[in-house]
């Protein structure tokens, strides 16, 4: 008998489902020879579906509080802002095309969100090939991993997902 996921508390349940769902979804797209279209934007629809299926109210391209514009144009935006289960989640998504993805802007937005909304759970979802995820180098001590990576091992290229939470900097004594 398999362990029931219904007993798992949020956000752990939805994060597990996001990792598992995205790994399977992209493996499916690879089987359909859609590799040319791969970018983080291909992940948005399944992320939105999983979050809403789990009872979250979701805003995509959420205007990030506490950020300044670098010049003319829109304010910086988070990929997802989700409310549900007495939680608020701010989610940035990154497709790792190497073991050292550029996450500075993503982390900056998550820091600004956390400063403006201290109770939010700021998350960085990193997706990519298993080879990139296994040797991931983020160089951000404020990020700590939530749960185990999930990899779709279907015999060809292995795709997977890891989720990191931005923790508060510890006050100096």
pLDDT at 1: 41
The full set of domain ranges for the chain reads: 8-166
pLDDT digits (tens, 9 = 90+) for 81-127: 999 999 999 999 999 999 999 999 999 999 999 999 999 999 999 99
pLDDT grade, residue 74 (50/70/90)?
Answer: confident
For residues 63 and 40, give the distance between their C-alpha atoms in angstroms, rounded to a whole number.
Answer: 18
Q: Mean pLDDT in the chain?
A: 91
pTM value is 0.90
* Strand 87-96 relative to strand 77-84, pairing: antiparallel
């Amino acid at each position: 008998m398999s362990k029931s996921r219904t007993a798992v508390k949020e956000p752990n349940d939805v994060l597990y489902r996001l990792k598992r769902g995205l790994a399977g979804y992209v493996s499916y797209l690879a089987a359909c020879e859609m590799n040319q279209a791969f970018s983080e934007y291909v992940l948005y629809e399944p992320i939105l579906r999983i979050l809403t299926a789990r009872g979250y109210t979701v805003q995509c391209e959420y205007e990030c509080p506490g950020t300044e514009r670098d010049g003319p144009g829109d304010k910086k935006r988070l990929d997802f802002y989700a409310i549900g289960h007495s939680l608020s989640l701010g989610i940035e998504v990154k497709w790792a095309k190497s073991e050292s993805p550029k996450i500075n802007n993503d982390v900056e937005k998550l820091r600004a969100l956390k400063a403006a909304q201290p109770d939010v759970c700021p998350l960085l979802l990193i997706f990519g090939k298993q080879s990139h995820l296994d040797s991931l180098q983020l160089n951000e001590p404020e990020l700590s991993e939530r749960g185990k990576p999930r990899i779709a091992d279907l015999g060809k290229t292995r795709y997977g997902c890891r989720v990191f939470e931005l923790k508060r900097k510890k006050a100096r004594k």
